[in-house]
Amino acid sequence: MPYAITLKCYIKSSNSEEVSGNLLHAAFFNILAEGNEEISRKLHSEEGRKAFTISPLFYKEHMTFNHLFLDKSDSKTNEQRLKAGDQVWFRVTLLDDTVFPAFSLRFLENPNTKIRLGLVELLVKEVTVSGGKKDRWNGFSDYKKLYDTAQPLDEIILQFATPTSFKQGDTIMLFPLPDLIFKGYIEKWNKYSGIVINDSLLDKIKESFILSQYFLKTLPFLEGRAMTPGFIGQCKFKTKNRDKEFLKNVNLLADFSFFAGTGRKTTHGMGMTRRLISR
């Protein structure tokens, strides 16, 4: 069962202007180790696609995700960052059932948990799992339910809320081609869901889905002391293929993007994704 968990926090103390994805990544494993050290070690050493994603740290009022702590282009915003008392939030998704109890134990035992992110200390005020309004980034589902409720639609719209990119050989791709996007979804789905989708689906996606519309901009992502290139925005994919089983599987993976994330470095804050439904 995949989970998407949002954690609302207050900054208790701060001697820093920024929080990189590496710090949230480390904090996640510290929280997990307190709940179950063996699961934490196993997850950390896991090869291939990981069973979790982590978002960057966001200001509460910046719900459009265009003003990340990681965007250093706005000097006025930087001057106001990370003050004691400010409300912030971040998001964790879990793809493996065994991880959720270990991660949640700390917050069940101590609702006012403190999280250390380098020189910044957060006080957790609210942990939310259940889905609600359509603009929410939390929720959970059963893998079988995701599979059973997928619709055979010929149009898919995805929103990339944090910087996203793909590895192609020795290069970094900053454009959401259908096969690059769905490759990661298929691999994570097959690894964690227990319901296998044939890898040949990716070839069919590449042949039949086109990028019909996009609103994207490049935005660098801070990882440690390095800036990693990425893009944020929305894109629409369409196909003329009317095979219902094919469309059902593609739509299933698009729905799964909410939990899986897109592209590279999703465990450090990149590739936070959700599907949008056209009206």
What's the pLDDT at 227?
Answer: 85
How many C-beta atoms surround the C-beta of residue 143 within 10 A?
A: 19
Q: What is the pLDDT of residue 85?
A: 86
Element (H, E) at 260: helix 244-260
Q: Are 39 and 124 in contact (CB under 8 A)?
A: no
* Tens digits of residue pLDDT in 91-129: 999 999 999 999 999 888 887 899 998 888 999 999 999
- What are 222-250's pLDDT values in tens digits? 877 778 999 999 999 999 999 999 999 99
Q: Which of 51, 146, 46, 145 is nearest to 95 (CA)?
A: 51
pTM (predicted TM-score):
0.91
- H-state helical runs in 52-142: 75-79, 99-109
**Three-state SS annotation for 122-169:** EEEEEEECCCCCCCCCCEECCHHHHHHHCCCCCEEEEEEEEEECEEEC
| Domains of the chain, start order | 3-128 (3.30.70.1890), 142-276 (3.30.70.1900)
Place of tokens 């809320």: 161
* Residue 194 CB contacts under 8 Å (≥ 6 apart), including other chains: 143
The per-residue pLDDT of the chain, averaged, comes to: 88
